[in-house]
Each structure stands twice: as structure tokens, then as C-alpha cells.
Amino acid sequence: MRIDIITIFPEYFSPLELSLIGKARASGLLDIRLHDLRSWTHDRHNTVDDTPYGGGPGMVMKPEPWGEALDAVTGGGEEGATPRLIVPAPSGLPFTQQRADRLAAEPWLVFACGRYEGIDSRVAEDAAGRMPVEHLSIGDYVLAGGESATLVMVETVSRLLPGVLGNAESAVQDSFATGAMAHLLEGPVYTKPPVWRDREVPPVLLSGNHGAVDRWRRDQALRATARNRPELLDRFTDDDLDRRDQEV
């Protein structure tokens, strides 16, 4: 997958040089390219913002640099390929695991990181004439810019790509994404030592009884979900829950 990120703070994305994503980039699994929006300004001050039409607080990102940046970045696709443009925004569609699964199937994503009060709306309108455009929100809170949201989305999508996670992690990911644990919150996890500050690991996890361990883990996941996200349990009918009992 190719991922282009356009931002006035390219250094914000140095975490993408680390860990699994850093390794995936080094191996060629992931091709992440950073672009400084100011490269497409032509004035002495590299101006990217201006006052909002209609008045109001703050500044709005000017359309000209964005238009030139998107033309330059998206024009260079192989065999004229076009990317999907993702614009992080508090007003966007919810970014969910399901939407991440869908984005992970895309060959090329471009992220437009806004700042100030946002990007002149004509930029996305103009781009939509040449490529799919999605405004996405990572949650109901307001960030100072799109960079944090882009980091979250790039990490969530990248870890779904085959080969990015090691075998162990991808096995864990599968068990929570599908089957009896799908859509449930993860329960508690433990590792050595068996006793730490007089706190024991739940004995079932040391029992070697895989059926009992699976049942215990599903029960813990149901408890965590009922406690913190009861609305997720609405997805299950009583029959589903009974069937899950048989499954595990």
C-alpha cells in the first residue's frame, strides 16, 4: 500500500519510522510518503492560511497550496491510478474498525491534514471530481489539527496489512476480529510471574484446559463490554449469545 500524507508538520509523523510500521516501510510492504504543504506556497512567508469569509474566529487554510499539492501528489500514480483522499475532520464519518478493514483493501491512500479552522471546502469538492474523498472523524472531540487523527488511522489500517504484524499478533487480532469474540472488548491479559505483589494470575489460565480458558476469556470480554460499552452487546440477540456459548 502507498500512503501519502500532506501536512504543515511533517515531523509529526516521525513515529511512523518506529516499530512494526517502520519495519514494514523498510521491507517495502508500506510506502509512506510525507509532503510539506508549504512546498506549494510561493510567497516569502510560505502562507497557507487566511481569514474566514463570513467572519468568525481563527483562520482557514487557503485552497491554492492544497490544490497544487494534491495535483502534484495524486498525479504521480502508476498507470494513472487514483488514490482515495482521506480528510480527517470532527464532522466526518466515524472511523471504525470496519472502515479501517475497508481502507486496508485500498492500494493508495492520501491523507490531507488540516490545521486552524480547517481547509477551504472547495479543495475537497474539486478533488472529488478526480478521486473518492472521505471526511473521517476518529472521535467526538476536537483536535488542533488532522495529524493525530491521521497517525491513528494510518496505524489502524497498516496493522491490518498482511505481513505487517508478526504471526503471534496477527493470530490474536483474528480471534478478536471474528468468531465468538467479534465486537467484544478485550478482557484482562497476564504474563509471568504467576504471582506479583501477592496478586495471582487467574488459575484457569495456568490450567492447560484450553476450553476452560476460552470460556473464561469470553466471559471476561462480555463483562468488560457490558461494563464499558453495553451498546455493543445490543448487536447480539439472545440466540447469538446462546450460540456463542456452544462455540467456545
| Count of residues making up the chain | 248
Cell of 74: 495524486
Known active-site residue 88: no
Binding-site size, ligand JCZ (CB under 6 A): 16
Find the catalytic residue in 10, 52, 63, 90: 90
Strands 133-137 and 84-94: parallel
One character per residue 205-234, x = contact with ligand JCZ (rule: CB under 6 A):
------------------------------
User: Is 83 an interacting residue with respect to ligand JCZ (CB under 6 A)?
Assistant: no
Known active-site residue 117: yes
Shortest distance, CB of residue 197 to ligand JCZ, whole angstroms?
38
Known active-site residue 43: no
One character per residue 118-137, x = contact with ligand JCZ (rule: CB under 6 A):
x------------------x
One character per residue 143-182, x = contact with ligand JCZ (rule: CB under 6 A):
xxxx--x---------------------------------
Q: Name which of 89 and 184 has its Cβ closer to ligand JCZ.
A: 89
Output the CA angle 102-153-50, nearest 5 degrees: 120
Find the catalytic residue in 17, 125, 174, 200: 174
Find the catalytic residue in 25, 99, 159, 223: 159
Residues 6+ apart with CB under 8 A from 72: 35, 40
170's enclosing H/E stretch is: helix 167-177
Known active-site residue 107: no
> 84: left (phi > 0), else alpha (psi -120 to 50), else beta?
beta
Taking each continuous run of H as one helix and of E as one strand, the counts in the chain are: 9, 9
Between CA 173 and CA 219 the distance in angstroms is: 18
Amino acid at 239: D
User: Is 89 an interacting residue with respect to ligand JCZ (CB under 6 A)?
Assistant: yes
Cell of 126: 474539486
Write out the catalytic residue numbers. 90, 117, 159, 174
Residues in touch with ligand JCZ (CB under 6 A): 88-90, 114-115, 118, 137-139, 141-146, 149
